[in-house]
């Protein structure tokens, strides 16, 4: 299997660190206003990857996190006059219910950032001891000047990184920073939730949370790290810097797999813009299989704009699959390699090309409807059923 790697900007063979096992970490939700179809696109794509690897008898140890402590959550909790933890738990449960509706398997480890505070403190302490971090104004910052490769994932120059970090919640003008690109590992808190640390009460920065959860559940070196494309900088860039500085080992990740942005009405679908299409709303009018298939009509690296007409197209495709599977056939004891299933697999092996894989299943379904030999039909139906199962579409 080859997957595109955002770091090298080319497709590369998936070569697991441990034979017959793949370690996968995917950045999860910040639990408020979930689950929109941008979220669903990300987690359905990785669900197909896991299902295909399992089909090939490869174990996947998969961690997904929940960023349950965050400035945005605290701000929303204050606006709604709710407890921040109660708010996070409510939206996390909504998210999990949506994933069950879309037939997304639960990861091996589903971890909240607040469960990893001891590891966050430990990593921060080691980074201070190794002089990769410094204390100013009660906060602890990672010193990006000590990591010359900072920027190797995003391929941005310093000025670009400063502009983007400002857009994505960082403060390059923080007077306590030695460098505008330095980022917070641990911040002193004056109000709101806090945890004890050797540096006084505080709470973690965003990036250090994921490094700690990866360390706790998967180790210091993993096969695949995934998430939305908007996380490349500053989040994943900073994860690389702090994780490789902490362990002294590189690479931290063998393959960086990023899901493209979903557009709606000409703009990126996002909470901040308020142009969200919620999964729960779509499920009032369309089947879960139709929503899932409509997402998989798109290659994970290609940006696309949501169009409800695609859900009608996916319902039509599902009717075709259903018709093909309902034809009576004669069970055959003769095993036949199916060329359509071979083409389907080849599409997934080439950077998880789900649109092409679906095309092959459509061709297969049409072939079934034209076939007269009932034993041949049975073998073709088995292949169609296998392909749909890998895509997570149950019949």
pTM listed for this prediction: 0.95
Report the distance separating Cα 271 and Cα 286, nearest Å.
23
Q: What is the DSSP letter of 286?
A: S
Q: Domain 15-268 is classified in which CATH homologous superfamily?
A: HUPs (3.40.50.620)
Point out which residues pair with 222 in neighbouring strands: 253
Report the distance separating Cα 215 and Cα 274, nearest Å.
34
Three-class SS of 109-161: EEEEHHHHHHHHHHHHHHHHHCCCEEEECCEEEECHHHCCCCCCCCCCCHHHH
Report the distance separating Cα 197 and Cα 346, nearest Å.
51
- Contact present, 233 and 161 (Cβ < 8 Å): yes
Report the distance separating Cα 38 and Cα 45, nearest Å.
11
Tell me the pairing of strands 21-26 and 59-66. parallel
Contacts (Cβ under 8 Å, ≥6 apart) of 78: none
- Using CA atoms, how far residue 30 sits from 24, 142, 258, 287, 293, in Å, is 19, 23, 17, 26, 25
Domain range list for the chain = 15-268, 310-390
Report the distance separating Cα 225 and Cα 322, nearest Å.
35
Beta strands in the chain (DSSP E): 2-5, 10-13, 21-26, 59-66, 109-112, 133-136, 139-142, 183-188, 202-204, 222-228, 253-259, 262-264, 267-268, 304-305
| pLDDT tens digit at each of 395 positions of the chain | 999 999 999 999 999 999 889 999 999 999 987 889 999 999 999 999 999 999 999 999 999 999 999 888 999 999 999 999 999 999 999 999 999 999 999 999 999 999 999 999 999 999 999 999 999 999 999 999 999 999 999 999 999 999 999 888 788 999 999 999 999 999 999 888 999 999 999 999 999 999 999 999 999 999 999 999 999 999 999 999 999 999 999 999 999 999 999 988 777 776 666 778 999 999 999 999 999 999 999 999 999 999 999 999 999 999 999 999 999 988 866 666 789 999 999 999 999 999 999 999 999 999 999 999 988 999 999 999 999 999 999 98
CA dihedral (230, 233, 237, 239) in degrees, to 10, reads -60
Locate 342 and state its tokens: 């071979």
Report the distance separating Cα 200 and Cα 203, nearest Å.
10
Rounded to 5 degrees, what angle do the CA atoms 315, 48, 230 make?
95
**Residue corresponding to tokens 């199962």:** 389
Report the distance separating Cα 110 and Cα 64, nearest Å.
5
CATH of 310-390, one of 1.20.120.640, 1.10.3720.10, 3.40.718.10, 3.40.1400.10: 1.20.120.640
Please count the residues of the chain.
395
**Residue corresponding to tokens 């495709």:** 317
- Contact present, 2 and 350 (Cβ < 8 Å): yes
């Amino acid at each position: 299997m080859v997957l595109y790697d955002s770091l090298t900007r080319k497709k590369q063979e998936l070569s697991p660190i441990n034979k017959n096992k793949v370690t996968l970490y995917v950045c999860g939700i910040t639990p408020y206003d979930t689950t929109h179809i941008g979220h669903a696109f990300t987690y359905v794509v990785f669900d197909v990857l896991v299902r295909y690897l399992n089909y090939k008898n490869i174990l996947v140890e998969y961690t997904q996190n929940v960023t349950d402590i965050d400035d945005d959550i605290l701000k929303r909790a204050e606006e709604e006059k709710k407890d921040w933890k109660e708010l996070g738990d409510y939206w996390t449960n909504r998210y999990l219910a949506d994933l069950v509706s879309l037939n997304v398997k639960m990861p091996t480890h589903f971890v909240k950032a607040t469960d990893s505070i001891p590891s966050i403190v430990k990593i921060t302490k080691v980074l201070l001891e190794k002089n990769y971090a410094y204390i100013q104004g009660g906060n602890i910052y990672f010193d990006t000047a000590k990591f010359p490769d900072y920027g190797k994932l995003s391929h941005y120059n310093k000025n670009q990184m400063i502009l983007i970090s400002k857009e994505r919640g960082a403060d390059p003008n923080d007077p306590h920073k030695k460098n505008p690109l330095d980022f917070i590992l641990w911040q002193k808190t004056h109000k709101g939730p806090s945890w004890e640390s050797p540096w006084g009460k505080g709470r973690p920065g965003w990036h250090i949370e994921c490094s700690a959860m990866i360390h706790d559940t998967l180790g210091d070196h993993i096969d695949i790290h995934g998430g939305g494309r908007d996380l490349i900088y500053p989040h994943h860039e900073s994860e690389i810097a702090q994780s490789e500085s902490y362990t002294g080992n590189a690479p931290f990740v063998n393959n960086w797999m990023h899901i493209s942005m979903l557009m709606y009405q000409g703009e990126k679908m996002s909470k901040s813009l308020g142009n969200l299409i919620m999964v729960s709303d779509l499920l009032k009018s369309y089947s879960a299989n139709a929503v899932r298939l409509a997402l998989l009509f798109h290659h994970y690296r290609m940006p696309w704009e949501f169009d409800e007409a695609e859900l009608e197209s996916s319902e039509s495709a599902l009717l075709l699959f259903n018709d093909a599977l309902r034809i009576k056939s004669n069970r055959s004891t003769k095993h036949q390699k199916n060329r359509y299933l071979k083409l389907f697999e080849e599409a997934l092996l080439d950077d998880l090309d789900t649109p092409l894989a679906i095309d092959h299943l459509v061709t297969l379904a049409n072939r079934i409807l034209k076939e007269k030999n009932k034993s041949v039909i049975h073998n073709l139906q088995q292949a169609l059923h296998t392909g749909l199962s890998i895509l997570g579409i149950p019949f």
